Structure 1
Amino acid sequence: MSRTYFDRAEPIVALATPEGRSALAVIRTSGENAVDIVARCFSQPQALLGAEGYHAVYGWIFDPVSQERLDEVVALVFRAPHSFTGENAVEIMCHGSTAVAQRILEVLYTQGFSPALPGEFSFRAFAGGKTDLVRAEAINELTHASCEAARHDALQRLSGVLSRKLEEIRNLMIDVLADINARLDYPEDEGPEETDRWVQLMQRAQDELSDLIRSYPGGRLRQEGLLVVIAGRPNAGKSSLFNLLVREERAIVSPEPGTTRDWLEAWISIGDFAVRIVDTAGLRNTGNSIEAEGVRRSHALLARADVILYLVDGTVGLDDEDRSFVARYPRALLLWNKADLSRCMPAPSAWAAVSAKDIHSFGSFESMLKSALHSSIQEALTSGQYEAQVRIASERQARLLRQAHEAIAQAMEAQTAGAGLDLVALHIRESAECIGEITGDIAPDEVLERVFSTFCLGK
């Protein structure tokens, strides 16, 4: 029978650093008897067993069966409850080859450790009350942060800024529920001033929820990065522009049309943002099934793009396919390429004359991209929300916040319509439960498993 996140009695182990060659690797363990198990494979067992929390012990990891030494290591001891998971734990710092780390893991498995599930260390921290679900998700978001903006936001959430805001909102709802319950118990104390207070508290909660919901598009863009798609007819210079932007020869540049039949991608940083640059297949009607599939994929990417860079060969000029593209994607940034060639025609109005092969053009390209990216972000957001201090980036959180907002709206409508207090309380309770699911206070087991399964091994 396979293990689940709720089998917390078993000690667990996982590689906490990426596989591959590096100076060091870290193997992470956790469990009530984690120190005892590691000591069986350690050259200085008494030193390890007697170590206080946050103390490091030097020694060798060996195979207890063959007595073979596996690696020279430093073992860092953590004692419950003062550890990340709240359990006893040992982190083993070994040399960073795949062979070394894998061999140590195999020995630890034979001694009683189970391979950790993705995110299981964070789950145990959550289950042990060391963190809430919002902070746990922030750990995963920080691990995947691909730019300075994403790092900043994830660290804010990890520090508890979002958790405290959600607690404030939920407390507003609980205050209203307490008043309503008192009114139901003592109807003779009824007065209009109490009703006015409820409406004010519900309105405050609704406004706070609205602010968080509006922060999601910007938070998502910062966390996931922005998608910039380079498009154009064959031989417009798309691959040259791609190579220029990523600053290396990634795409094959050829005078033969249709060289790029699938898309290439690379990540770059522009300002504080992570940007995914994609070089697509040349857009044209073709009888070649492989090239046609590339064109279909190009249009699928264009539909999701935050910014489109559309290139035209300035030595050839516009044709009907170019005009059709501009009509279909009116927000595309229009680039009149090969402006460095003497035979290049003058750029039409609204087109920027550029040279995708001129390294000196990089600064102007980057400036145009920054402007286009910021415009894309601002169009997606209500003014001022992009720079909000409390920002969400999780689709799960955004969905539950929308549900909480809707429930509060229904409660206010019921109150205004003179419906029974039981109905008003029902909607407020629904809203509070949505907040509780975000923080993990009342999250069902299957929700928790789904959230933590998206984490990395060793987290």
Structure 2
Amino acid sequence: MPRSYFDRNTPIAALATPEGRSALAVVRTAGANAIELVARCFSNRQALLDAQGYQAVYGWFIDPSSGEYIDEVIALVFRAPHSFTGENAVEIMSHGSPAVVERILDVLYAQGFSPALHGEFSFRAFVQGKTDLVRAEAINELTHASCEAARHDALQRLSGALSRKLGEIRDLMVDLLADINAKLDYPEDEGPEESSRWLEIMHHARDALSVLIQSYPGGRLRQEGFLVVIAGRPNAGKSSLFNLFAREERAIVSPEPGTTRDWIETWISIGEFAVRLVDTAGLRSSQNMIEAEGVRRSQSLLERADVILYLVDGVAGLNDEDREFAAKHPEALLLWNKADLSRCLPAPEGWIALSAKDVRSFGEFENIVIDRLRSYARTTQKAGTLERQIRIASERQAGLLKQSDLALSQALEAYTAGAGLDLVALHIREAAEAIGEITGDIAADEVLERVFSTFCLGK
């Protein structure tokens, strides 16, 4: 029978560093008897058993069944409750060979450890009260942060900034709910001053929710990255520009039109942002079935792009297709390529002259792209500033915030329409419970398992 996240009495072990060759690897263990179990596999057993919390012990990891020395290691000892999970724990730092890690784990499993589930260490930290669900999710988001902006946002959530904001909003609702329930018990005490104050609290809570809800598109972009698509007619220089951004020869550059039959993509950082950069097939009508399919896919990507870079061969100049594209996509950055050639025509108004092969001038153009990314990020959020705002990046959190906002809206409508206070209280309770689901104060077991199953092993 498969183990559950709620089998908390089982000692667990897992590799906490990425699989593959590396200088060092870290194997994490946790459980009430984790120190005793690891000590069986340690050359200096008593030193490990006597170690205080936050102490490192040097020795050899051995197979107790055969006495074989497996690797020279350092064991970091953590004693409950002063550990990440709140349990006794040992982290084993070994050499990073896959063969070494596999043997260490096999020996630990033979001693009674079970392979940790995805995110099980973070789950145990959550149920032990060492963290809330928002900060636990931030651990996963920080692990997957692919750019400076995503790292900054995830670290802010990990520090508890979002949790505190959500706590403030929920406290408003809970206090208001208590006040309304008191008036339900003693209706003769209600006066006009309560009516005004309750409305003010509900509006204030909705305003705070609105700020967080509006932060989601920008937060998601910073976490998941921007889709930047390079488009243009064949032989405009798209692949050269792609290679310049990627800092390597990823796309084939050829004077023959139609060389790129399908799109090519890579993940890069531009400024503080993660970017999925795509080089598309040249946009033109073609009787070639493969090239025509590449053009169709390019059009599909353009419809989903956050930023479009449209190139024109400055030597050949504009044609009707270029003008039609520029009119259809007024938000695109229009690029006049091959400006380094003497026969290049002057760039029309609204077009940016550049050379997709000139590394020296690329920095100036890259700054233009960074400004466009920042501008686009700002348009996705109507409140706060890009640098200081507390953002959410979780679809789960965004959905629950909208659910809370809807319940508050219904509470306001019911109250202003003169409905009974019991109905108003019901909607406010729904709003508060939705916030409680975000932080994990109220959460079903299957929801928790679904959240933590998305984490990395060893987290």
Structure 1 position 106 matched with structure 2 position 106: yes
Question: 1:279 maps to which residue?
Answer: 279
Question: 2:74 maps to which residue?
Answer: 74
Output aligned runs, 1:179-328, within 5 Å: 179-328=179-328
Q: CA deviation at 1:326?
A: 2.4
SS at match of 2:267: strand
Q: CA deviation at 1:339?
A: 1.8
Q: CA deviation at 1:107?
A: 1.6
Q: Distance in 1 between matches of 2:100 and 2:291?
A: 45
Question: 2:444 maps to which residue?
Answer: 444
Range moving further from structure 2, 68-77 or 214-223: 214-223
Q: CA deviation at 1:308?
A: 0.6
Q: CA deviation at 1:257?
A: 2.3
Given that residues 126 and 133 in structure 2 are in contact (C-alpha distance below 8 angstroms), is that contact kept between their aligned partners in structure 1? Answer: yes
Residue deviations 1:189-233, cap 9 Å, x none? 121111222111111111111111122222222222222111112
Given that residues 215 and 385 in structure 1 are in contact (C-alpha distance below 8 angstroms), is that contact kept between their aligned partners in structure 2? Answer: no
Residue deviations 1:290-314, cap 9 Å, x none? 3333333322322222211011112
Question: 1:422 maps to which residue?
Answer: 422
Code of the aligned partner of 1:3: R
Structure 1 position 83 matched with structure 2 position 95: no
Q: CA deviation at 1:188?
A: 1.8
Given that residues 215 and 380 in structure 2 are in contact (C-alpha distance below 8 angstroms), is that contact kept between their aligned partners in structure 1? Answer: no
Question: 1:130 maps to which residue?
Answer: 130
Code of the aligned partner of 1:132: D
Residue deviations 1:355-389, cap 9 Å, x none? 10111221222122022112212222215442343
Residue deviations 1:307-336, cap 9 Å, x none? 110111122233333333323322111111
Given that residues 235 and 313 in structure 1 are in contact (C-alpha distance below 8 angstroms), is that contact kept between their aligned partners in structure 2? Answer: yes
Paired-residue identity, %: 76
Output aligned runs, 1:117-196, within 5 Å: 117-196=117-196
- The CA RMSD over aligned residues, in Å, is 1.6
Q: CA deviation at 1:440?
A: 0.5
Question: 1:400 maps to which residue?
Answer: 400
Q: Distance in 2 between matches of 1:452 and 1:225?
A: 22
Question: 2:433 maps to which residue?
Answer: 433
**What TM-score results when the alignment is normalised by the length of structure 2?**
0.96
Q: Distance in 2 between matches of 1:60 and 1:116?
A: 23
Q: Distance in 2 between matches of 1:203 and 1:242?
A: 49
Instruction: Specify every segment of 5 or more residues in structure 2 that has no aligned partner in the other structure, as ranges.
Output: none
Structure 1 position 345 matched with structure 2 position 345: yes
Given that residues 214 and 385 in structure 1 are in contact (C-alpha distance below 8 angstroms), is that contact kept between their aligned partners in structure 2? Answer: no
Code of the aligned partner of 2:355: S
Change (3 A) 1:69 1:211: same
Q: Distance in 2 between matches of 1:91 and 1:339?
A: 57
Code of the aligned partner of 2:11: P
Residue deviations 1:142-178, cap 9 Å, x none? 1112222222221111111111111111010011111
Output aligned runs, 1:328-339, within 5 Å: 328-339=328-339
Code of the aligned partner of 2:18: P
**What TM-score results when the alignment is normalised by the length of structure 1?**
0.96
Range moving further from structure 2, 406-415 or 139-148: 139-148
Q: CA deviation at 1:119?
A: 0.9
Question: 1:26 maps to which residue?
Answer: 26
Q: Distance in 1 between matches of 2:15 and 2:329?
A: 46
Range moving further from structure 2, 231-240 or 410-419: 231-240
Q: Distance in 2 between matches of 1:442 and 1:365?
A: 49
Residue deviations 1:369-421, cap 9 Å, x none? 02211221222221544234322111211111111111111101110000011
Q: Distance in 1 between matches of 2:7 and 2:260?
A: 50
Q: CA deviation at 1:342?
A: 2.8
Residue deviations 1:253-286, cap 9 Å, x none? 1122222233322333333222232212222233
Q: CA deviation at 1:88?
A: 1.0
Change (3 A) 1:290 1:448: farther
SS at match of 1:22: coil
Given that residues 214 and 383 in structure 2 are in contact (C-alpha distance below 8 angstroms), is that contact kept between their aligned partners in structure 1? Answer: no
Q: Distance in 2 between matches of 1:117 and 1:341?
A: 59
Range moving further from structure 2, 260-269 or 137-146: 260-269
Residue deviations 1:124-144, cap 9 Å, x none? 100111100001011111111
Question: 2:458 maps to which residue?
Answer: 458
Range moving further from structure 2, 67-76 or 251-260: 251-260
Given that residues 132 and 439 in structure 1 are in contact (C-alpha distance below 8 angstroms), is that contact kept between their aligned partners in structure 2? Answer: yes
SS at match of 2:437: helix
Question: 1:10 maps to which residue?
Answer: 10
Code of the aligned partner of 1:334: L
Q: Distance in 2 between matches of 1:425 and 1:71?
A: 62
Runs of at least 4 residues off by over 6 Å: none
SS at match of 2:355: coil
Question: 2:375 maps to which residue?
Answer: 375
Change (3 A) 1:290 1:29: farther
Given that residues 211 and 384 in structure 2 are in contact (C-alpha distance below 8 angstroms), is that contact kept between their aligned partners in structure 1? Answer: no
SS at match of 1:52: coil
SS at match of 2:24: strand
Change (3 A) 1:286 1:6: farther
Q: Distance in 2 between matches of 1:115 and 1:327?
A: 57
Q: Distance in 2 between matches of 1:355 and 1:383?
A: 38
